[in-house]
């Protein structure tokens, strides 16, 4: 089975390696149609992908993870995106009983106390809902770029996600931050205003801060963890 998957990924990479991001999105949308899913957190990269999907009049499903701890600015750009593109964006929420148990037993800010507690919170609010969101799909499109973190440099622009049993395609994998910003301006794409305030990566409000000049792209995520990989587990490579 793994050999078949490896050959399938290699073939898909050959088909896509000479295409630009717009062509990659069109190819995946045309080939996989309703078996394609795109996850957005309304960051600038995800906004580019949403624009490309809208241009292609995609049959792909679009979803977001509503963790219950998002910034007000995230809801602002969520609304503006719906107004501009008229694409349905399905919200997936964490399991209510799991959140109630965690908060009852450990309090609303247990994630500050240990890496284990933070990972538990991420699992309940993000990973478990994600697994429900992508179930039954064949291809998962993301807005990941290689330069975002060391973990993401270890990825490839097409890969097999063994944990979730799905093909992952990252059309913007080789884009720079400047490429993304230029595209946003060119097409007047709505984006989260926190990006203009030193937030290159935006997640849950209690777990995200602005970064200082010279800091790593992911330094503002879970900043209290000195040895964290700065990933919640959605896009872990191992």
Q: For 159-211, what is each residue's pLDDT tens digit?
A: 999 889 999 999 999 999 999 999 999 999 999 999 999 999 899 999 999 99
Residues of the chain with pLDDT > 70, as a percent, come to 91
Residues of the chain with pLDDT > 90, as a percent, come to 78
Residue 233 clears pLDDT 90, i.e. is over it? no
Q: For 40-50, what is each residue's pLDDT tens digit?
A: 999 999 999 99
The answer to whether residues 221 and 118 touch, using CB atoms and an 8 Å cutoff, is no
| Interhelix angle 44-55/21-32, nearest 10 degrees | 60
- The whole-chain average pLDDT of the chain stands at 91
Distance CA 172, CA 24 (A): 9
pLDDT of residue 26: 94
**From 121, 204, 207, 232, the catalytic residue:** 232
Tell me how crowded residue 215 is: count the other CB atoms within 10 A of its CB: 13
Exposed (0-12), middle (13-18) or buried (19+): which is 205, by Cβ within 10 Å? middle
Exposed (0-12), middle (13-18) or buried (19+): which is 160, by Cβ within 10 Å? middle
* 3 state SS of 124: helix
Residue 137 clears pLDDT 80, i.e. is over it? yes
Q: How confident is the model at residue 155 (pLDDT cuts 50, 70, 90)?
A: confident
Segment 143-149 mean pLDDT: 84
Residue 230 clears pLDDT 70, i.e. is over it? no
Residue 236 clears pLDDT 80, i.e. is over it? no
pLDDT of residue 106: 98
The CATH number of 2-207 is 3.40.50.620
* 3 state SS of 180: helix
pLDDT of residue 113: 95
pLDDT of residue 56: 87
Q: Does the annotation count 207 as an active-site position?
A: no
Distance CA 7, CA 179 (A): 31
Residue 238 clears pLDDT 50, i.e. is over it? no
pLDDT of residue 237: 46
190: tokens are 């709505």
Q: For 12-30, what is each residue's pLDDT tens digit?
A: 999 999 999 999 999 999 9
């Amino acid at each position: 089975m793994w050999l078949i998957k490896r050959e399938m990924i290699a073939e898909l990479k050959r088909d896509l390696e000479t295409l630009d991001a717009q062509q990659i999105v069109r190819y995946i949308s045309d080939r996989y149609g309703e078996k394609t899913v795109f996850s957005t957190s309304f960051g600038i990269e995800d906004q580019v992908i949403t624009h490309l999907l809208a241009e292609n009049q995609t049959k792909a499903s679009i979803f977001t993870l509503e963790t219950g701890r998002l910034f007000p600015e995230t809801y602002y750009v969520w609304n503006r995106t719906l107004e501009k593109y008229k694409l349905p964006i399905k919200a997936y929420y964490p399991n209510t009983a799991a959140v109630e148990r965690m908060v009852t037993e450990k309090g609303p800010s247990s994630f500050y106390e240990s890496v284990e507690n933070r990972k538990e919170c991420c699992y309940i609010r993000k990973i478990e809902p994600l697994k429900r969101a992508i179930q039954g799909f064949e291809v998962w499109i993301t807005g990941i770029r290689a330069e975002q973190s060391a973990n993401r440099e270890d990825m490839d622009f097409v890969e097999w996600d063994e944990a979730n049993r799905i093909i992952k395609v990252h059309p913007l994998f080789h884009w720079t931050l400047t490429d993304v910003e230029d595209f946003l301006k060119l097409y007047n794409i709505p984006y989260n205003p926190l990006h203009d305030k030193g937030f290159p990566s935006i997640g849950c409000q209690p777990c995200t801060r602005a970064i200082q000049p010279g800091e790593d792209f992911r330094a503002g995520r879970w900043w209290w963890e000195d040895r964290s990989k700065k990933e919640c587990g959605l896009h872990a490579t191992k």
